[in-house]
Amino acid sequence: MSSPFEKPPLYVVPFTPGAAEGRAQDQSAYAPVLFERPEAVESTVPHGLAKTVATALPGLWYCLHLPAALSDLIDVDIWMLKAAQNLSLEHNILLVPIDCFDEDVLGRHLQYHHPVVTICPDELLDEARQRASTLGFALPTTPYSQLSDATLTAQWKAVHEHFIPDLPRLTGEVPLTHRLDLAPLTLPHRRLARQMGWPTAESVVQDTSASEAFAQALRGQTFLAALTRLEREGASHDEADRRFRQTFEEEATRLRVPVALALPGTAPAYARIAYDSELRRRTGPQSAVNPNDTWSVTLHERPDHMVERAAIEFAVTHQSVASSGLGLMLPTMPPDAFITLAELERHFHTPHSSAAVRRLLTRLNDAAQPLWSKELKAAIQRASYLTVFSDFPLGLLTMPGDSAPLCARLPVMYRPLQPLTRMVQQQLSAPPAMSLDRSIKVLVAECIPVSDPVGRMSRQGWDIARETVAPDSVTLTIIQAETLTLEALRQSVAEHRPDILIISAHGTMVGNMAALVVGDAPHLDLGLDRMPPVVILSACHVAPRGSGTVAITDLLLREGALAVLGTQVPVDVRRNAMLMVRFMVYLAKENTKPGQFSTILDVWHHVQTSNAVNDIIDGSPSLRAWGTSTTINGRPVLVEFMSSRAVGRIRPPHVYEDTERVLGEIADEQGQGDRVRNWFRRPGYVPESLFYIFAGRPDRIHLTPLELLTEQACPGR
């Protein structure tokens, strides 16, 4: 007999479809791009949330207060609460047009979930109740007018009695959130507080102070980490009491938790294309905190900027609750930052100088200074990785006190905001986490003819990659295929069914769209029957952000990819090949001897950051020649650096600064210190490895079986 804990609860929030939603649209051909301006009466400005979908927001927020898993209903061991941060236990909420609320659409979900309750606008109650009853939902359909703390408490009890009545129920339900702007912090904390036996209501201090809400959430996370450590070390009750204060202080300095950030903002270049001047005048910046940003059953009736705010905050709260981590709403990215970013991206289309790139990165940091609140800096310092809901590459910014951009400090992944309707749908429809722990099949699709020098160098690079990973070919296989037409690409993917698809192609701009050239034509969608979970676009500028470009990187997520890696700018084919080869080598090594990296995101971050030395050495002919010269120990400079001199001396927040220092020491021993340091500045180098974007959910692609991750977290293991 199967356990009820094998399936998570399922909640449904239906809405009345408009012209762009519903069954007719659901059955139409896939059309990833809208070429016409969105009508203001149909969607919000500037991020584009369909107003029909916005009616679901009160229900979506309410569902975040219900159990994400049946284990939420019972007392759970401390170590399991901490282990959950690696598993991303999301609320399963279906956002569906009312005419799609039937078995044809929900069949797969009903098979793998417990259908619990439907939350709907009052005007849909009769139809939603009938459809939910037909599909076997456990609890009565609840209209918005009945949503309250009392209803929430009753539903927690009813879920327990229906599914696990023989197990003791954990009391202390989490009341409805009042402040939505603070919810990414307060709701995960209050759910943790329920398990820990702490008060679960929003406090008066929290209700008025973002800094206190952050401090309380951070204390809760540190408390959990300290107790988990004591439990893992087998401390007795008396010993734990005696050691707790010191353990708490130690864990406060080493604490690492998942952090989700929401960074709204639209590129001015996109706004000029998408909206007329009257609509643009109606938009304005959002602050990080807004006391008027509160939950109600009519929140979808507010002005556009408040509705968009509630939707963005819902997504980041959904993420922070799922990861049992921290979340923050940030102020709108200033327009000047997008303008500077666009200039930086354009600069790479011409012969670029390192001095100009440094100046533009400095201007970018200056434009983004308003972001750096005390809470944001503290959250990043304690983050194990960042999930950034934004159309701006936050990872390119340098945090005050660091010398390298954020993406060098820690892993960063992106969930594009625009259009907001799609972002909310994708946040709610994430496929389950997967493991690539046995073998990884990589398909390299060569879309550039061999007659093209870039195509020839790409093939040479992947020949080297295959030879390099040959010792680990049992766990990672690289297949190269000639796919010079879109049909050939589709057939090759269908034949090989890869875990990772690497598309070697030219990127191109078509108006304000970043496309991939396959054959003789640009493409924004690939039309694959089965989209591989990971897609790597080995192509130039397929993920630009400065001009609000419609990018194939984002569109492939809509086609079904779990994670997509793409470049913001044109990159050198040789350097890109080196980066991709190193990525494959580390994936193969991890699968052969697991333990260093948990997810594919962790591997990428290591490869990206440790490639700083190659960025520097490849910065000029003089540096390249010096990098192959012999050190006093008889080894090439690059080998000496990687094998011994850099070990334990490179700090991620200062990776380029530290790498220069170590290389300078090697040069000093050769009597060339001043000359080499001068080359670092003139002609200099470009940190090209940092201009990549990993979009989607690479954190959910594990290289260790999920069962083993849980076992490893268990005390006594």
Q: In what order do the strands lie in the sheet with 500-504?
A: 326-329, 257-263, 383-390, 412-415, 692-696, 563-567, 534-538, 500-504, 440-446, 476-482
Is 114 in contact with 92 (CB distance < 8 Å)? Answer: no
The model's pLDDT over 537-567, given as tens digits with 9 standing for 90+, comes to 999 999 999 998 899 999 999 999 999 999 9
Global pTM? 0.95
Average predicted confidence (pLDDT) for the chain: 91
- pLDDT, residue 381, reads 97
Amino acid (one-letter) located at 667: A
Residue 446's H or E segment, with its range, is: strand 440-446
**Looking at residues 10-36, what average pLDDT do you find?**
60
pLDDT at res. 407: 97
| Strands across the sheet containing 114-120 | 92-97, 9-15, 114-120, 142-143
Token digits for 558? 């809509």
- Reported confidence tier of residue 636, pLDDT bands at 50, 70, 90: very high
Q: Which of 125-129, 343-347, 434-438 has the lowest mean pLDDT?
A: 434-438
Mean pLDDT over residues 115-126, rounded? 98
Neighbour tally for 19: CB within 10 Å: 11
- What single string gives the DSSP state of each residue in 131-197? HHHHTT-SS--EEGGG-SHHHHHHHHHHHHHHH-TTSPPP--PPPPPSBTTTHHHHHHHHHHHHHHT
- Which residues, at least 6 apart from 72, have a Cβ–Cβ distance to it below 8 Å? 170, 191
Please say if the pLDDT value at position 40 is more than 70: no
In this prediction, residues 479-492 reach a mean pLDDT of 96
Q: Does position 1 have pLDDT exceeding 90, yes or no?
A: no
- Check residue 28 and give its pLDDT: 38
Burial annotation 481-503 (CB, 10 A radius, 16+ → b, else e): bebbebebbbebbeebebbbbbb
Percent of the residues in the chain that have a pLDDT greater than 70, as a whole number? 94
What is the residue whose two structure tokens read 């327990």? 160
Instruction: Give the model confidence (pLDDT) of 74-89 as tens digits.
Output: 999 998 889 888 877 8
pLDDT at 710: 66
Q: Please, which residues have CB within 8 angstroms of residue 575's CB and are 6 or more apart in sequence?
A: 614, 615, 618, 688, 689
More confident residue, 217 or 352: 217
| Tens digits of residue pLDDT in 356-404 | 999 999 999 999 999 999 999 999 999 999 999 999 999 999 999 999 9
pLDDT for residue 26 is more than 60: no
